[in-house]
Amino acid sequence: MGEEELLNKIDSNHTTKIYWSLTILATIGGFLFGYDTADIGTALDLIPYHLSAFALGYLVAGASLGAAIGAIIAGPLTDKYGRKSILLVDALIYAIGAIVSALTVNADMLIIARTFIGLAVGADSAIATAYIAEYAPKNKRGSLEMLQEWMITGAQTISYIIGFLILFYFPSLAFNLDWRIILGIAAIPALIGLAYRMKMPESPRWLLMKGKFDKLRETLSKLGINDISNKELERISSEIKSDKPKFTPGVKKALLIGGLWMMFQQITGINVPFYYGPYIFAPFFKGSDGLSSITSGIIATLIISLTQTIAVLFAIKYIDKLGRKGLGKIGYLGMGVFLAFGGVSLLLFSNLGKVIGLIVSFIGYMIFFGLGVGGIGWTIQGEYFPTHVRGTMASILAFINWMSNFVIIEVFPIWKDTVGLASVMFSFAALSIIAEIIFLFILPETKGLSVEEIVEMFENKR
Q: What is the C-alpha to C-alpha distance for residues 299 and 305, in angstroms, rounded to an integer?
A: 10
Higher-pLDDT residue of 190 and 51 is 190
pLDDT of 368 > 70? The answer is yes
Per-residue pLDDT tens digits for 82-102: 899 999 999 999 999 999 999
Burial class (CB in 10 A: 0-12, 13-18, 19+), 180: middle
Write the DSSP assignment of 407-436 as a string of letters.
Answer: HHHHHHHHHHHHH-HHHHHHHHHHHHHHHH
- Residue 183's closest CA among 292, 44, 55? 44
* Domain at 101, CATH number: 1.20.1250.20
Question: What percent of the chain has a predicted confidence (pLDDT) above 70?
Answer: 91
Q: For residue 242, is pLDDT > 60?
A: no
Per DSSP, the three-state class of 70 is helix
Number of domains the chain is built from: 1
**pTM here?**
0.85
**pLDDT 10s digits, 20-79:** 899 999 999 899 988 987 888 777 777 878 777 777 777 777 788 889 999 999 888 888
Instruction: Return the minimum-mean-pLDDT range out of 141-155, 212-226, 323-337.
Output: 212-226
Number of neighbours of residue 283 by Cβ within 10 angstroms? 11
Closest listed residue to residue 122, CA positions, set 370, 397, 387, 383: 397
In this predicted structure, the answer to whether residue 454 has a pLDDT above a threshold of 80 is: yes
Which 3 state secondary structure label does DSSP give 449? coil
Check pLDDT > 80 for residue 140: yes
**DSSP structural state of residue 282:** G
Mean pLDDT of the chain: 85
The answer to whether 157 and 309 are in contact (CB under 8 A) is: yes
> By percentage, how much of the chain surpasses pLDDT 90?
35
Predicted confidence (pLDDT) at residue 5 exceeds the cutoff of 80: no
Task: Give the DSSP H/E element, type plus range, for residue 109.
Answer: helix 107-133
* Owning domain of residue 102: 3-460
The confidence score (pLDDT) of residue 245 equals: 67
What is the C-alpha separation between 299 and 295, in angstroms, rounded? 6
Minimum mean pLDDT among 149-163, 239-253, 389-403: which range?
A: 239-253
Distance CA 240, CA 211 (A): 10
pLDDT at 286: 60
Nearest to 136 by CA among 34, 327, 149, 128: 128
Cα three-residue angle 444-447-453, rounded to 5 degrees: 75
Confidence of residue 318 (pLDDT cuts 50, 70, 90): confident
Which range (164-173, 258-267, 314-323, 420-429) has the least confidence? 164-173
pLDDT for residue 95: 95
Contact status, residue 443 vs residue 325, Cβ threshold 8 Å: yes
| Main-chain dihedrals φ then ψ at residue 421, nearest 5 degrees | -65, -35
Report for 127-136, 163-172, 368-377, 395-404: range of highest mean pLDDT: 395-404
CA distance 23 to 286: 44
Better pLDDT: 115 or 231 = 115
Q: What is the predicted pLDDT for the residue at 442?
A: 93
